[in-house]
Amino acid sequence: MSGRLAGQTALVTGGAIRVGRAIVERLAAEGAQVGFTYLSSAETAAELVQTLRKAGVRSRAVRCDQREPTQIRDAVADITGRLGPVDLLVNSAAVFRRTPLSEATVEEWDHHLDTNLRGPWLFMQAVGPSMKERGTGAIVNLLDVAAERPYPGYLPYCASKAGLECLTRGVARVLAPEVRVNGIAIGTVLWPEEYPDAARENTVARTPLARVGTPEDVAAAVAYLAAEASFVTGAILTLDGGRRLV
């Protein structure tokens, strides 16, 4: 396929549903062959692979629980064995659960940190050195504006994203100049299912662009950082419709 990412292999974590799926579809449209991981969406993942293959895109879906280091290593080995060395890594998979300070358990803390911070670290560790050795590559980590403005009821999640923001900048220094590493700090893109209508209306009213984002907005930003931003590394692109200004 032709496109800005023609001939490249992308690996997207959490690529079967929601924002991750939009990223997979956009990278495929840009010409990349795409491997992606999923946790519990096996049927949706298989459907997406078939859709991509019918469009002429080589694709591979692998189940991976990011809390398990061996599953991360196996997923990378599987995808590279089928599609070749990874040129673009997108760390999209994450867990987001309400964890009030007085109620949160150690298990919930570990679940967030292992999935949202250690998992991306292990994926970067698995593919980054190979990218550097080959002399080219890009990594995009999905972050959250809550790393700087924490959500009171979701502090383990916020802490995990703050840690990933730090890692993004640090790994950018380690892998330069061959590999670019950037992040996207996302605001409201998809509503939590339990989010009240009044709160949704308030969020939109306080957003200068007068809407929430879409998965396609995030996917477009990923494509920009992957294909166009040749002099950008260690940067955090804020994608929040201007909410940080309010």
Catalytic residues: 157
HSE of 30, CA atoms in CB hemisphere, 13 A: 24
Residue 79, phi-psi category: left (phi > 0), alpha (psi -120 to 50), beta (remainder): alpha
Calculate ∠ Cα 14-15-19, nearest 5°: 90
Name the 3-class secondary structure at 193. coil
Are the beta carbons of 119 and 68 closer than 8 angstroms? no
User: At 86, phi and psi to the nearest 5?
Assistant: -80, 125
Sheet with 236-239, side-by-side order of all strands: 59-63, 33-38, 9-12, 88-91, 137-144, 179-186, 236-239
Are the beta carbons of 199 and 3 closer than 8 angstroms? no
Find the helix or strand (DSSP H, E) in which 11 lies: strand 9-12
